[in-house]
Amino acid sequence: MTIRFHLAFVVAIPNIPVNARWRQNGITVAGGHGRGDATNQLYWPAGLFVDDDQTIIIADSWNHRVVRWKIGDANGQVIAGGHGKGNRLDQLNQPTDVLIDKETDSLIICDRDNIRVVRWSRRRGTTQGEILVDNIQGWGLTMDDQRCLYISDPGNHKVKRHQIEKNDDIVVAGGNGQGANVNQLNDPLYIFVDRQQAVYVSDNENHRVMKWSKGAKEIVAGGQGKGNALTQLSCPHGLFVDMLGTLYVADSLNHRVMRWPKGAKEGTVIVGGNGLGEGANQLNKPMGFDDIIEKAISNAQNHKVVLSSHNRAVNPPPPSTNINSSETMKPCTDENGFTIPTYRIIHRGEFDMQDCTNSLVPQVRSMRPKELIVEIDLPLCASSSNVDLDVCERSLKLHCNSPKYSLDLHLPYPVRESDSHARFDKKQRKLLVTLAVIKETPSIIEVDTNIDMKETNEEPTETIPTTTTNEEPTETIPTTTATTNELAESIAKPANITSLSIPFDYKQGLAHLAIVLYVKNVDKTSLKLENDGQHITIQLSSLGSGFYPLHHQLFLDFDEPMVFDTTENSSTITFNDDNVLILLKKTSNDKQLTQFSSGINQEDMKVKSLLLSLDHVLQLPLPSKEKG
């Protein structure tokens, strides 16, 4: 089964965790080869826009052009201007900001020193733009979800909203002359508009960020004069506000990026703040940045664009879901240069894991998970339009050419392709794949005839105390100790009766291995268990339809000797209506098993993997993403 995603673009404002840790060493993704007009250079990059596929669109101001740069490429591509400084329609003059209008598939560019805003189609063959707004020496641009264009006008100390279809302008911030009052602006540069059409403005010469909403104006960052204290800003430029109302602002002359939570009196430095410089942990007058989870910061006087991302913690599942266990893997790169993304497999079942890890409860409905939830981190994918996902019974394969991701995952349980589905979470940049697990069904094969099992005449011991329940009490079955050779001999005799393999599930705890046998109507007196510490043989009979007796057998082989306690009464067996629960006691709590083999006999064995119980997994440190 192939699942292909072709989702329409939706503007999504991320919800960045408040405890996110930001990598302090940025990665140069554009420029970084000194100032110049070569395709691998930039000259005073100002505003930028990050497209769905993580392509960065850069207003390369003093090269009088707009450049498209794919992350990982050594060179950019000129997509507007690039014909020298001028006012022809194929030229630009110190552009300061750019965005993409999805509806018309065009660039909108603030062509500052030509005192205009131009629109430039992204279709092939386009050689020039068209004037969209004239007679405005703007600086910053943004667009709301109703396709209204917002333009900052630093010379007139105001911000305008332009309705493209009606060609109509209104002032939405400032417009009351130059000043520091809350109804005034002083050299407004960059702007951000949230979903309620509140306008955030980097009030450059007032060293603050203002929020203008309907009927209200407030200072949301800075406003304490120019300075580098955590309560101050120094010529703020690019800004962004997430769903929590947290403000991120490029504090230009302090060479840092700051985060100001909603209502906070001071901010925190998340990137830079290590002085002016060209080091990986330094910035040089950061200006505009766009945000789609990662922050791309135009590092103006270092003539480059750097990418600084945060390490997102894995969100816990909703409390109502019963999660058995999970596996988390680190990202790495394959032999073809594709990134193998971080993934996490969650085992979701219909019971509480404490049923088999902390106490000897009398009933377990199921040990095999009902579903597998595979969470795949794709931090460079803004959408899933380029993602191909193939799901088979025992494997999951993901491939994406741009950006380069590849994952070939073997699944711990067989799944039903027809009952599986996937969705892409744009806010968290995760692909969430839900896979329906196939339940085991018994297979009939011919096995031993005269089973030479050792009997015991000892009376059953007292019931081991368990959690209070109205179910039948737990019975303790004495364990018969046998050598490996004896076990093999008992299974090697000629077959003249038909036996069934036993469908079962299992879970590892600190002191026990829990095994659930999915057999109904078991004759309690028929169950025989042999345990030599490494090999386990289980035989039992049940009453089938028409009261016809059925015989069942299971053989388990663990990789090392003396894994389990072989003393009498060390194994506990609980009979339920639909299953039988067996708890095998380990010889040591330090023995954590990784795999074992199972089958109806030694000639028909399959390897199975073992995970620790969730309670134990949570005590282990999860792999952390590499910094920087």
pLDDT band at 233 (very low <50, low <70, confident <90, very high): very high
Query: Is 90 exceeded by the pLDDT of residue 412?
Result: no
pLDDT of 450 reads 38
Instruction: Count Cα atoms within 13 angstroms, Cβ side, for 135.
Output: 1
Buried b (16+ CB within 10 A) or exposed e, 602-628: eeeeeeeeebbbbebbeeeeeeeeeee
The 10s digit of each residue's pLDDT in 71-118 is 778 899 999 999 999 999 999 999 999 999 988 889 999 999 999 999
- Mean pLDDT within 3-19: 43
- Mean pLDDT within 443-455: 37
Q: Which amino acid type is present at position 464?
A: I
pLDDT of 21 reads 61
Measured CA to CA, the distance from residue 490 to residue 454 in angstroms comes to: 10
- Residues 361/351, Cβ–Cβ less than 8 Å: no
Identity of the highest mean pLDDT range in 348-362, 435-449, 572-586: 572-586
Query: Is 70 exceeded by the pLDDT of residue 289?
Result: no
pLDDT of 297 reads 52
Domains of the chain: 21-311 (2.120.10.30), 322-437 (2.60.40.790), 444-449+472-616 (2.60.40.790)
Measured CA to CA, the distance from residue 288 to residue 286 in angstroms comes to: 7
- CA torsion sign for 354, 359, 363, 367 is positive
Cα angle for residues 528, 531, 532 (degrees, 5° grid):
150
pLDDT of 307 reads 57
Query: Is 90 exceeded by the pLDDT of residue 587?
Result: no
pLDDT of 132 reads 94
Measured CA to CA, the distance from residue 552 to residue 572 in angstroms comes to: 19
- Residues 411/343, Cβ–Cβ less than 8 Å: no
- Mean pLDDT within 284-301: 53
Output phi, psi for 34, to 5 deg: 80, 170
- Mean pLDDT within 336-358: 68
Q: How would you class 322 by CB atoms within 10 Å of its CB: exposed for 0-12, middle for 13-18, buried for 19 or more?
A: middle
How would DSSP label each residue in 449-490? SS--PPP--PPP-PPPP-S--SSPPPEEPPPBP--HHHHHHH
pLDDT band at 366 (very low <50, low <70, confident <90, very high): very low
Q: Which amino acid type is present at position 613?
A: S
Measured CA to CA, the distance from residue 512 to residue 464 in angstroms comes to: 14
Measured CA to CA, the distance from residue 394 to residue 409 in angstroms comes to: 9
- Residues 105/122, Cβ–Cβ less than 8 Å: yes
Share of the chain above pLDDT 70, in %: 71
Share of the chain above pLDDT 90, in %: 30
Four-CA torsion 243, 245, 248, 251, nearest 10 degrees: 160
- Residues 414/435, Cβ–Cβ less than 8 Å: no
Least confident of 120-124, 454-458, 524-528: 454-458
- Residues 516/564, Cβ–Cβ less than 8 Å: no
146: Cβ contacts below 8 Å, ≥ 6 apart: none
- Mean pLDDT within 307-333: 45
The 10s digit of each residue's pLDDT in 166-205 is 888 899 999 999 999 999 999 999 999 988 889 999 999 9
Q: Residue 441's beta-bridge partner residues?
A: none
549-558 and 497-501 strand pairing: parallel
The three-class DSSP label of residue 547 is helix
pLDDT of 177 reads 94
77: Cβ contacts below 8 Å, ≥ 6 apart: 39, 67, 68, 69
pLDDT of 60 reads 92
Buried b (16+ CB within 10 A) or exposed e, 26-50: beebbbbeebeeeeebbbbbbbbbb
pLDDT of 477 reads 42
Buried b (16+ CB within 10 A) or exposed e, 248-275: bbbbbbbbbbbbbeeebeebebbbbbee
Q: Calculate the average pLDDT of the chain.
A: 76
Query: Is 80 exceeded by the pLDDT of residue 582?
Result: yes
Is the pLDDT higher at 277 or at 617? 277
pLDDT band at 359 (very low <50, low <70, confident <90, very high): very low
Biggest CA-to-CA distance, the chain? 104
Query: Is 70 exceeded by the pLDDT of residue 525?
Result: yes
- Mean pLDDT within 125-153: 91
Q: Tell me how far apart the terminal alpha carbons of the chain are, to the nearest angstrom.
A: 38
Query: Is 60 exceeded by the pLDDT of residue 626?
Result: no
Q: What count of other Cβ atoms lies within 10 Å of the Cβ of residue 78?
A: 15
8: Cβ contacts below 8 Å, ≥ 6 apart: none
Compute the 3-state secondary structure of the chain and give helix, strand, coil in percent, each to the nearest 5: 5, 45, 50
